[in-house]
Amino acid sequence: MTALLLLLATASASEVTVWHSYSGAEQAALEQVADDWESTHPDDRVSLVALPFGGFDTKVDTAIPRGNGPDLFIAAHGNVAKWVLEGVIEPWTSDTTGIAPVGLDAFTVDEQLWGLPIATKSLVLLYDPSRIASPPQTTDELIAMARAETADGHYGLAYQAADPYFHAPWMHAFGAVAIDDDGTVSLDGDAQVQSFAFARRLAVDEGIAPTQPTGELVSRLYEDGDVTFVISGPWFTADLSRPVAAAPFPMVSETGLPARPYLTVDGIYQAKGAPSPELAQDLAWAIASAHGAQTRQDVGGQAVTWTATTGASPLVQTLRTQAETAIPMPTHPDISAVWEAQAYALRRVMRGSASPERAGREAQARFEQLQQKDVVEVSRSPYIAAFGVLLLGLVGMLVVRLRNPELRNELAATKWDYFWIGPAALAMIALVVTPFVLGAAVSLYAYQGGEWTFVGLSHFSDILLSRDFPITSPMSFFYTLAVTILWTVTNLTLHVSIGVALALVLREPWIRMRGMWRALLILPWAVPNYITALIWKSMFHAQYGAINKLLAIVTPGPGPVEFDWFAQFSTSFAANLATNTWLGFPFMMVVTLGALQAIPKDLEEAAEVDGAGYLTRLRHVVWPLLRPALLPAILLGSVWTFNMFNVVYLVSSGEPDGSTEILISEAYRWAFSRNNQYGYAAAYAVLIFGVLLVYSRAANRLVGRKVL
């Protein structure tokens, strides 16, 4: 009887799954709230699933429409309009009394609430209280105080000036906006241009900020006591060991208006098709309302949207004050294209490669190229007919071949062979053929507003005819293809030459401790390439990178070398090339070492007796015997290099202005950085496959046997 009751209790218990991207104190606070809720719901459980922040939105977009999502998920309000269009979320219909209006406004679309606000976040002015007694009230005061703090490797101000999110306070203070409520974008207006000029002055001209600041660099500088003012949010303070104080943004002296950052509102969304909607909303309310809000404030350090909490820390009080003037993050579907265009302008202004006026004009043109265009649906009938003809043709060819008696006899004699290779064939169909066919099918559709529209071959015609971009533009397929070919050829040349040279040296008997040298030289290949890419990225930093430090030692002049490696194509490409060469030569070295051990010493000794010198023996004896083993490795390495996404994405990030992107990284940006144009990205992927297919057939013909 006891066992039966236990079984029934287990069957009646429900589990509410919650996705989030919190970490540290915020995650601990959420876990405590979940534990408290479970204590009042003994038959129910909460499953908190922490997902990486960078891939959270993509996970939501792909999993929930297919019924693989959670009951609830916690995310910022920036995508609420997109998720409403895609049908990812359910409207919130329960009581919201006690929640601040600014949070409710952020989650309202078409006069309907689509989530439950739980916390606000925004940028604030952080400063070192041991050096600054009172924060500045105007930007002139900020600049003067920062200038007084800048000396001997110590900086007055540090922030990510080329990031549109960090630029927003100055943009709003000059009266500009990224995108209007009706979707109008003006990146070349006078107010935008003035904000670009002010950002350049603050981050570069005044000499009070470090070069090429990243989030990691800013954190390290403050932790080491090397910067006084920082522009960042509450996440910056989470892991600091040094004291930090916060203040609202100062007034911009040129306009007399306060700097107004974006306001991000975190909220709880109910996923479409949640198995237990009533229980999910009960948990969501417990997280957002009195007890849960107080816990998240006290334990997680969040500026909660519940208005009745007490005992807020100074940082939380500052965040609440800043929220009164902050501007809610735009939720328009084109915002990602706006930010890419604005970031393009800011980077050019910061590098000094364009004036603010020219950068604004180029950014506006870039946005117009990137924004979602009207989708024109085409008839499926011609494509269905063409597919039917192709299928009938393949069946006809198969029938004609099977009418050959010799072929039928051969198939009958080897019928059991197909039984043994069947599992491998099924695995190939499931893991290779099916994803490729589905990807090719996606290339025939346009994805917009949560809807898939059949557009046929229009993506391919737009790409191959360069309808959207001039052929000389870095965003053109043919420009990117040329860069990809240059990337592949130069990398292979260095991989093979360095790898073969090292292998030839390491086989010499006079080299001591050859085993140790071989192990050391294989290490670059053994380390995961994304880790190596990030290390090399830091080494090429203009101000703190090891490469420029070495250049300062070997070049004349008293001052440090602060060369910007990513300001022009040649040096940015060279940075990528150096990184991938470091990663790639060990593979060629290992292959060559193995092949060299198979070459009989007698052949070289006989050639030496006949008077052949080292180079002659290398050319006429060693190389002909190396080639059969090395050529397949070269061809395989060329395919790897052609699609080497990590190095390009992590080291140069396509800089300057996307000119060092390769085809695979460009396809990624179309899919995930430019309004989720999955069909366009899939067309890129199919074209990449086509290029590699032609290359493999040509390589096999050149080699004289099937290698790829």
- Tens digits of residue pLDDT in 486-510: 999 999 999 999 999 998 888 877 7
3-state DSSP assignment of residue 454: strand
Tokens of 479: 């420009």
Q: What is the mean pLDDT of residues 251-273?
A: 94
Q: What is the pLDDT of residue 189?
A: 93
Q: What is the pLDDT of residue 181?
A: 79
Nearest Cα neighbor of 507 from 388, 565, 590, 586 is 590
Which domains, ranges and CATH numbers included, belong to the chain? 14-119+265-326 (3.40.190.10), 124-260+334-370 (3.40.190.10), 481-674 (1.10.3720.10)
For the chain, report the end-to-end CA distance as a whole number of angstroms: 66
Is there a contact between 575 and 651 (Cβ–Cβ < 8 Å)? yes
**pLDDT digits 0-9 by tens, 332-391:** 878 888 999 999 999 999 999 999 999 999 999 999 888 877 788 889 898 899 889 999
CA dist., res. 108 & res. 103, Å (int): 9
Nearest Cα neighbor of 165 from 309, 234, 247, 261 is 261
Q: What is the pLDDT of residue 3?
A: 44
Tokens of 546: 């090891």
Nearest Cα neighbor of 250 from 398, 123, 351 is 123
Q: pLDDT band at residue 706, thresholds of 50, 70 and 90?
A: low
- Percent of the chain at pLDDT > 90 equals 56
Q: What is the mean pLDDT of residues 249-255?
A: 96
Q: What is the pLDDT of residue 704?
A: 66
Axis crossing angle, helix 569-597 with helix 514-526, rounded to the nearest 10: 130
Q: Is residue 708 over pLDDT 70?
A: no
14-20 and 89-90 as β-strands: parallel, antiparallel, unpaired? unpaired
CA dist., res. 580 & res. 89, Å (int): 43
Look up the pTM and report it: 0.85
Q: pLDDT band at residue 552, thresholds of 50, 70 and 90?
A: confident
Q: pLDDT band at residue 419, thresholds of 50, 70 and 90?
A: confident
Q: What is the pLDDT of residue 705?
A: 62
Q: What is the pLDDT of residue 594?
A: 86
3-state secondary structure 463-532: HHCCCCCCCCCCCCHHHHHHHHHHHHHHHHHHHHHHHHHHHHHHCCCCCCCHHHHHHHHHHHHHCCHHHH
